[in-house]
């Protein structure tokens, strides 16, 4: 709910000083210099109000402008910025190994065997180039010089921003037969660049591949606790970056060492993005071997595409530009989809699977079960927006389309059985899409006849502003009834579900739309799904899943998350999906009640209540007058005799939401002031896809193996 605001009479707030300086006519008195008297400077705006932030002070003053935020995501962005410099060396063919180390004291080291940052004097500043790139924003070798043909870091702010936001940074460059070093504290050099002959550490050399030269850059930094409230490195996040980078740069060795627990991983893929596609399809039966093409064009653009169809219904297409994950697509994705649809239609008619009177396959038809990775390396990439999530280079669209046309057309000609399987799958998708359209039209027509009525079991709220309203999807009619009675009707809506909904991972859209409960969820949310999804029609700013704390409840919650991930993914990306956390225990001693959401909280509550009861007993023995809140009798029927003159708390274990009455459900799970919610986030789309594929998909044998391998890790409450 929005914070309450109190309007000020007259339309604005005034400082106390300004009020005192007003005369009887309501004018503001002025000083000798003609400015407003007192401390009110609102009417004055002069040159002295303009500040110039020197060096990297702007970064420290406004870190969110450069790394997004100072939370854990922004913290890990520091690693990515340093890592990207090494990856740029690899993309230009002068580096084949990068190592990342998480030290026990939370320092981070990134080292590569690239060329090493230049150290000679930079003519514009008269300082060492090493110091320039670490202390001046928008300084680097990626602004059109001959140093880099392609680069992911285009703004020249990466390593200088890391330096500014680090309490200490040390850089070590190996080149020209020497070691050059410089250290910084919160962005400021602690001394000049020092040089020494090589007599110690050498950049890593691959044991299986001798290097012609021993050069490279080693950067070690400590994130500044004055900037980041929490410094806690997640090795899994860094590991995913390294794995993805290894796929996109075949022949590049990347490793991660975590000194905190001795763990380590290395990534190397000779197959590049072909290996990536095989990895994405490992939980499915594939229809053919991957189709791969790499094409270099006159403007130095390199288009690399890998394609493979599987037996699923979902599309998995990942696009990259200069190793940057362009999640919103752009020119390279448009060119790929255009060529894919055109080539498959042409071949389908050529072999007679599409007759002259038949309509063409659409883009939606040819994307079912498609897995593809599109990687473009571009000399001057143009990204739409600061986040670099969409590629804007118009010429890349035609280049990617040409590469796909030629490679896919040749593959279909040379592999008739595979070509037939692919096109027959597309035709099946076409027929299913038509059936789904009819089912969707039927749902819409029924809604129109009913006056677009909401699902019968939905208890709607009074609030019509989506940002102030929330929807609880509750497992079971009993729990749904308690939730309807206990909720705040002003802004909380409740939709109860009975049993388990359909697993949409194994169902096409026509079957999904035939499911009563899924239709109810679609109608309640109001956004539509798939190509009809419209976030502006969302009826509730928050959707909260409430399920029992048992195995069946976990299964129902997983089915709901599968539905939301596959068909309402923008809601997850916008941070609008939550999981409610009902308590596992109710602990009562006398009139005192505590709630426990875990075994640890239960034990803590027991100890707290027994201590409180003992304190009260001792106070009574001394004849102290109790506080008003303590006048209620302690030893009621709530609790059991502990055999020592005291009582043990009564403990109730909740197996289901239906065991709580409306008041208890409000106090523990519905009340925004006291409840606990888990935000559902999407940190890594690739891993999320694989998880849903493996655990919810059609490949039973793979799921069985996964369960057998991980059974001992499960903590079940049955």
Active site residue 552: yes
Model pLDDT, residue 714: 60
Residue 521: count other Cβ atoms within 10 Å of its Cβ.
23
The residue among 308, 373, 369 whose CA lies nearest residue 336 is 373
Among 475, 667, 693, 699, the active-site one is 475
Contact between 133 and 140 under an 8 Å Cβ cutoff? The reply is yes
User: Distance (Å, rounded) from C-alpha 185 to C-alpha 432?
Assistant: 62
Residue whose pair of structure tokens reads 């949310």 in the numeric block: 525
Locate the domains of the chain by residue range: 59-265, 273-433, 457-582+679-713, 592-650
Model pLDDT, residue 154: 39
Using DSSP, how many helices (H) and how many strands (E) does the chain show?
21, 26
Q: What are phi and psi of 303, to 5 degrees?
A: -105, 125
Among 176, 384, 552, 601, the active-site one is 552
User: Distance (Å, rounded) from C-alpha 516 to C-alpha 502?
Assistant: 10
CATH classification code of 59-265: 3.30.565.10
CATH classification code of 273-433: 3.30.230.10
Active site residue 550: yes
DSSP state string for 235-251: HHHHHHHHHHHHHHSTT
The two structure tokens encoding residue 360: 């063409």
Model pLDDT, residue 3: 34
The residues that bridge with 294 in the sheet, in sequence order, are 304
Model pLDDT, residue 709: 67
Residue 118: count other Cβ atoms within 10 Å of its Cβ.
18
**Kind and range of the H or E element at 425?**
helix 416-449
User: Distance (Å, rounded) from C-alpha 346 to C-alpha 419?
Assistant: 12
User: Distance (Å, rounded) from C-alpha 78 to C-alpha 96?
Assistant: 22
Among 99, 548, 667, 689, the active-site one is 548
Give mean pLDDT in consecutive 10-residue pieces for the chain, a chain of 718 residues.
33 34 37 45 58 69 83 91 90 89 95 90 86 80 48 57 94 88 94 76 50 79 95 93 91 93 92 93 91 91 95 89 88 96 95 90 92 92 74 93 96 96 92 73 50 70 94 88 92 90 77 83 86 87 89 83 88 92 88 87 90 82 57 48 67 83 90 90 63 63 65 58
Please name the fold of domain 457-582+679-713. Answer: Rossmann fold (3.40.50)
Residues in the chain: 718
User: Distance (Å, rounded) from C-alpha 629 to C-alpha 622?
Assistant: 18
Per-position b or e across 658-684, b if 16+ CB within 10 A of its CB: bbbeeebbbbbbbeeeebeeeebeeeb
User: Distance (Å, rounded) from C-alpha 114 to C-alpha 98?
Assistant: 9
Active site residue 548: yes
Model pLDDT, residue 140: 54
Among 550, 684, 686, 694, the active-site one is 550
The residues that bridge with 174 in the sheet, in sequence order, are 179, 216
**Kind and range of the H or E element at 228?**
none
What's the gap between Cα 242 and its chain centre? Answer: 17
């Amino acid at each position: 709910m929005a914070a309450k605001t109190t309007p000020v009479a007259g339309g604005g707030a005034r400082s106390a000083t300004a009020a005192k300086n007003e005369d009887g006519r309501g004018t503001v008195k002025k000083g000798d210099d003609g400015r407003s008297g007192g401390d009110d400077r609102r009417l004055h705006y002069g040159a002295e109000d303009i500040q110039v932030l020197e060096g990297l002070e702007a970064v420290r003053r406004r870190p969110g402008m450069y790394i997004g935020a100072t939370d854990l995501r922004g913290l890990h962005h520091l690693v990515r910025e340093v890592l990207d410099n090494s990856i740029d060396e690899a993309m230009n063919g002068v580096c084949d190994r990068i190592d990342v180390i998480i030290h026990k004291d939370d320092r981070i080291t990134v080292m590569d065997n690239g060329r090493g940052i230049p150290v000679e004097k930079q003519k514009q500043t008269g300082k060492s180039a090493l110091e320039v790139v670490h202390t001046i924003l928008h300084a680097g070798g990626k602004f059109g010089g001959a140093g880099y043909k392609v680069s992911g870091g285009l703004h020249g702010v990466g390593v200088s921003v890391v330096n500014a936001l680090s309490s200490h940074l040390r850089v070590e460059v190996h080149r020209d037969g020497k070691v050059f070093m410089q250290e910084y504290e919160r962005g400021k050099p602690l001394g000049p660049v020092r040089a020494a002959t090589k007599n110690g550490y050498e950049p890593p050399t691959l044991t299986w591949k001798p290097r012609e030269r021993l050069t490279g850059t080693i950067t070690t930094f400590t994130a500044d606790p004055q900037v980041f409230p929490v410094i806690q490195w997640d090795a899994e996040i860094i590991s995913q970056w390294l794995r993805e980078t290894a796929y996109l740069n075949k022949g590049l060795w990347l490793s991660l060492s975590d000194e905190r627990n001795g763990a380590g991983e290395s990534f190397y893929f000779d197959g590049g993005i072909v290996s990536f596609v095989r990895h994405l399809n490992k939980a499915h039966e594939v229809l053919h071997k991957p189709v791969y093409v790499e094409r270099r064009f006159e403007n130095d653009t390199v288009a690399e595409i890998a394609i493979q169809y599987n037996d699923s219904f979902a599309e998995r297409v990942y696009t990259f530009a200069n190793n940057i994950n362009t999640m919103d697509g752009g020119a390279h994705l448009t060119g790929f989809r255009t060529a894919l649809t055109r080539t498959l239609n042409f071949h389908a008619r050529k072999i007679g699977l599409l007759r002259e009177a038949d309509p063409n396959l659409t883009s939606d038809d040819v994307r079912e079960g498609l897995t593809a990775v599109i990687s473009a390396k571009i000399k001057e990439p143009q990204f739409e927006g600061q986040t670099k999530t969409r590629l804007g280079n118009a010429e890349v669209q035609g280049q990617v389309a040409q590469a796909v046309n030629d490679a896919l057309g040749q593959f279909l000609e040379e592999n008739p059985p595979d070509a037939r399987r692919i096109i027959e799958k597309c035709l099946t998708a076409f027929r299913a899409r038509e059936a789904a359209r009819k089912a969707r039209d039927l749902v819409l027509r029924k809604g129109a006849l009913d006056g677009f009525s909401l699902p019968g079991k939905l208890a709607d709220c009074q609030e019509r502003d989506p940002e102030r309203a929330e929807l609880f999807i509750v497992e079971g009619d009993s729990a749904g009834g308690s939730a309807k009675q206990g909720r705040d009707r002003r802004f909380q809506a409740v939709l109860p579900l009975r049993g388990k909904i359909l697993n949409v991972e194994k169902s096409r859209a026509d079957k999904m739309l035939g499911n009563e409960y899924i239709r109810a969820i679609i109608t309640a949310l109001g956004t539509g799904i798939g190509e009809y999804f419209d976030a502006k029609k969302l009826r509730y700013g928050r959707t909260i899943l409430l399920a029992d704390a048992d195995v069946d409840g976990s299964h129902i919650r997983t089915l709901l998350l599968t539905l939301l991930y596959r068909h309402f993914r923008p809601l997850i990306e916008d941070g609008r999906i939550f999981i409610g956390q009902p308590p596992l225990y109710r602990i009562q001693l006398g009139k005192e009640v505590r709630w426990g959401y875990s075994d640890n909280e239960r034990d803590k509550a027991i100890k707290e209540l027994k201590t409180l009861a003992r304190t009260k007993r001792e106070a009574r023995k001394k004849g102290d007058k109790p506080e008003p809140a303590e006048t209620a009798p302690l030893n009621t029927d709530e609790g059991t005799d502990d055999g020592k003159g005291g009582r043990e708390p009564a403990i109730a274990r909740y197996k289901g939401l239906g065991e709580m009455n409306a008041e208890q459900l409000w106090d523990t799970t519905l009340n925004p002031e006291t409840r606990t919610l888990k935000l559902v986030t999407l940190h890594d789309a690739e891993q999320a896809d694989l998880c849903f594929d493996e655990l919810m998909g059609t490949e039973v044998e793979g799921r069985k193996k996964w369960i057998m391998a991980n059974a001992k890790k499960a903590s079940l409450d049955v």
